[in-house]
Chains A and B, each alone.
Chain A
């Protein structure tokens, strides 16, 4: 289909712009992000609890950030910060029961955190920090 135009009496066919076929995106991220307010709440909780339990964050703050966001996500959807590193048959029931609500019973009793959020000083992955900023969380989870 061409548009005919004339210039000095000579008909010139004008090409119609062809929109390039859009490639479908091969990777679709369906993850919903928790709100910043809840992330901030869980961030403060994590810092406070690390100090209180004398544990430290992971050397890789990306791990810490992901877990904090996971806790925030569960807090928003279930009302309680259920451990993000476990699989549950019924999340709502587990949140109501409380065993796996952060800080979970294994953490409270034996300082065992398999999420690697709270690490005892003797752990190979323990860093030396007990604090993390909201910016650090945002930056290290921005590529997810």
Chain B
């Protein structure tokens, strides 16, 4: 048991700047479900974070297969108003993160001075946690990577596109409510 815990502890430490608070989720996830050991006991020590009530089943399945633990699921200090950060994708990482992804991917095309983008970013962050392991979520800055935005015919911002097997499957335009996004996501996960 101790060996399993220690192994997961080393993962977030490897990346400088990552917050230690990512540890509890990694710790909980490293415990195999078959052991029946209640991971809630590990989680409860970190009550300061808004991690309570999350579906642990999803994160358990995710952590075992995902090699990039700290990259996608890093928990950021609450002072920034989001518990989870949606990672960025650029034109350089587009091929590997989106087109070659084995899971469906949801990409939010945003711009720095777009007001509605600010409104839906927490929603995207929340959905990325809800569908962890089943759906990857990224955001793309259209000012920094305009070629990708033009390639996919982005006009109105924000636009959310769901990709599967490297193909654009569905596009949602505008700052829509969470339920609309869930309806779209459910078609592909």
Contacts and interface: CB of A to CB of B under 8 A. Distances in A.
Same complex origin of A and B: yes
Interface of A: 23-26, 30-31, 58, 60, 62-67, 69-71, 73, 84-87, 89, 114-117, 143-144
Contacts of A58: 115
A85 B17 contact: no
B17 A70 contact: no
B99 interface: no
10 closest A-B pairs by CB = A70-B113, A63-B115, A26-B17, A84-B113, A67-B115, A66-B115, A85-B114, A87-B154, A87-B149, A85-B157
B112 A31 contact: yes
A34 to B, nearest CB: 9
A85 B118 contact: no
A114 B116 contact: yes
B150 interface: yes
A86 B111 CA distance: 8
B155 interface: yes
B114 A70 contact: yes
Interface centre among B16, B119, B174, by most chain A C-beta atoms within 10 angstroms, is B119
B17 A66 contact: no
B16 A24 contact: yes
Interface centre among A66, A71, A87, A114, by most chain B C-beta atoms within 10 angstroms, is A87
B65 interface: no
B17 A62 contact: no
Contacts of A114: 116, 156, 174
Given A66-B118, A85-B156, A86-B156, A24 B17 contact: yes
Contact of B113 (A23, A62, A67, A116): A67
B164 to A, nearest CB: 23
Contact of A62 (B115, B146, B155): B115
B138 interface: no
B149 A116 contact: no
B118 A62 contact: yes
11 contacts: A58-B115, A63-B119, A66-B118, A67-B113, A70-B114, A85-B114, A85-B117, A86-B156, A116-B175, A117-B115, A144-B112
B128 interface: no
Contacts of A87: 109, 111, 142, 146, 149-150, 154-157
Contacts of B112: 31, 70, 144
A97 to B, nearest CB: 15
Interface string B26-66: 00000000000000000000000000000000000000000
A64 B111 contact: no
Given A84-B111, A87-B142, A63 B157 contact: no
Given A63-B116, A114-B116, A85 B111 contact: yes
A77 to B, nearest CB: 11
A23 B16 contact: yes
Contacts of A117: 115
